[in-house]
Chain A
Amino acid sequence: MSEKLLEIVDERLSFFTPAGEVKALNGVSFSMEEGEVLGIVGESGSGKSVTAYSIMGLTAYPGRLIGGTIRFNGHQVDQMSEKEFRKMRGNEVSIIFQDPMTSLNPVYTIGNQIEEVIRLHTDKSKTEARARAKELLELVGINEPEKRLRQYPHELSGGMRQRVMIAIALACEPKLLIADEPTTALDVTIQAQILELMQELRQKMGMSIIMITHDLGVVASMCERIAVMYAGHIVEYGTTDEIFYHPSHEYTKGLIGSIPKLTTEESERLVPIEGQPVDLLNPPAGCPFAPRCRSCMKICLKKMPPKTRLSDTHYSYCWLRQKEAAEGGHEA
């Protein structure tokens, strides 16, 4: 077995708030090969971002890793010091945030902010860093890079700023790029351009990407694998085709059912997922999705379902699949 780029096993992470322990991640495991594009989908608060941030050691206070291991590019991330994290961040792993309007420092020029990360992680001189910054701006499709380098963030549009964020993230050719809802804050046309750019850059530079989104359209167009998260669990994991054509968890089915399709007949209505997300302060004993699930069974409320393997690349955590497997097994 080749060395995986990223391997997370049974990660548990909680936020210790004054109101109590918020269990944000409850045993998350997955791995990624080099060059792979993984999509993590789920609703707000499902733990998508928390998972990604923990790879970079960016877990916000009062969050704390309380169990599991994270291996990335030969590092034992869960045991790294802040100093080791600093060497890794922006260099081996980079991140693009959701809101490009607020993610750039308003009082420094674009050039300054790109050169900063280059000079931090390489021993390039000031002029070399400037040349590299210019090259990066060209790479992310910004014209007149010389002029842009001297401009301040507020002089650029949202789409442009997101391109700058991508340039900053790619400055040191990272092995892994985390994109945390990179298109959510942008106009639809700009969204498409940014996604196209990211795909193009991946082909050019060959890095892996973790795409965090709640937009299934985005993952469908970009990702090879998809992890569906709900209440701090990965409830289903598989290739893009498997997730879209053979969704196995009721939550995934719900998600896909709620996407509008061009082929939808007028009589067919979009099916919303009813109910509220669970309260992570008091997570239920059973499947976290059970209270909202249409096919909920008694067992679902009592016990967390075990993993059901559906293929080499596809698994989910649902009692219904267990039931089918068991019935199938008995019949056979």
Chain B
Amino acid sequence: MEHTENTPELEKLPLGPDDFSPATAGEKESLVVMRESINFWADGFRRLRKNKIAMVSLFFILLIVIFAYVLPSFWPYTYDQQIKYSENLSAFEYGKTELARIEAGESVFPHICGTDKLGRDFAVRLMMATRVSLTVGIVCSICVLVIGATYGAVAGFSGGLVDDIMMRFTDILYTIPDILLIILLSITLKPRILALAETPGFEWMQKVGANLIAMFIVFALLYWVGMARITRSQVLVLKESEYVTAARALGAGNGRIIRKHLLTNCIGTLIVTTTLQIPAAIFTESYLSFLGLGVSAPMPSLGSLATDAVKGMNTYPHLLLLPAILISVTILVFNLFGDGLRDAFDPKLKN
């Protein structure tokens, strides 16, 4: 009975003899809907753009960058300018002389966030502090990247005894409490670098800020260990992969293999780790400022602004809250953006 489904099915359909003629290759092609193949970066950026949290974080990061690097140039006050009779103003308040100037018909730019106890405009101090904290975060992360990635790549690539010794060294560094190391390094290095900046040939250091440079070095010396470990493990995996064997068989030298094959393949991981290093550095800098070991006065950092405000927090809570919120938000958006980058470019790195 079931056999009846054979031919009648065919007769029901409006088919002509042409339907049973061979299809051309063109006809076949036109029906195959091939999705265009997407390369690694395009695919990653597509995923990143779809990630709302990451995009909102990126927007905030841009805002913070503008706030820190662009706005101060247009601001009518500077971070170390002390205005007499305008001490401890609250938001949008004017000092004695400023009121007099306003009465005389001059326009005086308002102190949006008030002033501190030395009569410095707090808004511009916040901007400069953010600039310092961001610079510390970004430059330190880049130093960490350079040192850590090089060390890790060399260790992983050399293998054997060299690898063992190099990694044993990082193990020991890892067991030293990092706050201890950072405090020791910063009190050891800072006076030396300050002295170095005085010597001829190194004046450029004063321009950048000698204590900022000290901070970069301290952080780079401390945090490269994690980066080195990540890079090494990536290199170890990649080293075993077939395309490296193939490159070697074709006579490529070690340097070329490291540059061309290994680094390009772990670049996703490196970018993600570096991005996540930025908030960590900002975090630590604020700690050091709290201990009085951070950036020195009159240059402010977010941590030092918050610390300065602790004593007067009952009377002037906004001086504490504003930098506190700014630090937390900066760390938060960098963390969120870093997480987004990781999801987009390096899904296997998820913890």
Contact = CB atoms under 8 A, between A and B. Distances in A.
CB–CB under 8 A between A and B in the complex? yes
A291 B2 contact: no
Contacts of B103: none
A181 B73 CA distance: 68
A299 B7 contact: no
B18 interface: yes
Contacts of B5: 306-307, 309
B22 interface: yes
A290 B22 CA distance: 11
Q: Closest 8 CB pairs between A and B?
A: A299-B19, A291-B32, A282-B33, A306-B9, A296-B23, A329-B7, A291-B28, A326-B10
Of A281, A282, A301, most buried by chain B (CB within 10 Å of CB) is A301
Nearest to B28: A291
Interface string A177-192: 0000000000000000
Interface in A287-312: 290-291, 295-303, 306-309
A45 to B, nearest CB: 14
A284 B23 CA distance: 15
Given A306-B5, A323-B20, A301 B28 contact: yes
Nearest to B50: A18
Contacts, number: 68
A300 B23 CA distance: 8
Interface string A24-48: 0000000000000000000000000
Taking residues whose C-beta sits less than 8 angstroms from the other chain, chain B's interface range is: 20 to 34
Given A290-B31, A295-B22, A298-B23, 11 more contacts: A279-B33, A284-B31, A297-B22, A298-B22, A301-B27, A301-B31, A306-B5, A306-B9, A322-B10, A326-B7, A326-B11
A142 B343 CA distance: 44
A325 B38 CA distance: 45
28 contacts: A276-B34, A278-B32, A281-B35, A284-B32, A284-B33, A286-B31, A290-B28, A291-B32, A296-B28, A297-B23, A298-B20, A299-B19, A299-B20, A301-B23, A301-B27, A301-B28, A301-B31, A302-B19, A306-B10, A307-B5, A308-B6, A309-B2, A309-B5, A319-B20, A322-B9, A325-B7, A325-B10, A326-B7
B15 interface: yes
A105 to B, nearest CB: 20
B107 interface: no
A281 B32 CA distance: 12
Contacts of A309: 2-3, 5-6
A295 B23 CA distance: 8
Of B6, B13, B21, most buried by chain A (CB within 10 Å of CB) is B6
B343 to A, nearest CB: 13
Contacts of B9: 306, 322
Contact of B21 (A279, A298, A322, A325): A298
Of B5, B19, B21, B23, most buried by chain A (CB within 10 Å of CB) is B23
Contacts of B28: 290-291, 296, 301
Interface in B216-249: none
Contacts of A301: 23, 27-28, 31
Interface in A253-284: 275-276, 278-279, 281-282, 284
B35 A297 contact: no
A309 B35 CA distance: 36
Contacts of B21: 297-298
A298 B32 contact: no
A206 B23 CA distance: 48
Contacts of A290: 23, 28, 31
Interface of A: 275-276, 278-279, 281-282, 284-286, 290-291, 295-303, 306-309, 319, 322-323, 325-326, 329
Given A278-B32, A282-B33, A309-B5, A298 B10 contact: no
A21 to B, nearest CB: 14
Contacts of A308: 6
B33 A298 contact: no
B175 to A, nearest CB: 27
Contacts of A322: 9-10
Nearest to B27: A301
Contacts of A307: 5
A302 B28 CA distance: 11
B15 A299 contact: yes
Nearest to A326: B10
Contacts of B32: 275-276, 278, 284, 291
A329 B29 CA distance: 33
Interface in B288-311: none
A87 B2 CA distance: 37
A326 B174 CA distance: 79
B19 A279 contact: no
Nearest to A306: B9
Contacts of A300: 23
A9 to B, nearest CB: 14
A322 B10 CA distance: 7
A282 B18 CA distance: 26
Contacts of A281: 35
Contacts of B35: 279, 281
A298 B7 contact: no
A228 B19 CA distance: 26
A275 B10 CA distance: 29
Contacts of A326: 7, 10-11
A302 B20 CA distance: 11
Nearest to B5: A307
A300 B7 CA distance: 17
Nearest to A275: B32
A291 B31 CA distance: 7
Of A276, A284, A297, most buried by chain B (CB within 10 Å of CB) is A297
Interface in B4-53: 5-7, 9-11, 13, 15, 18-23, 27-29, 31-35
A322 B33 CA distance: 26
A237 to B, nearest CB: 13
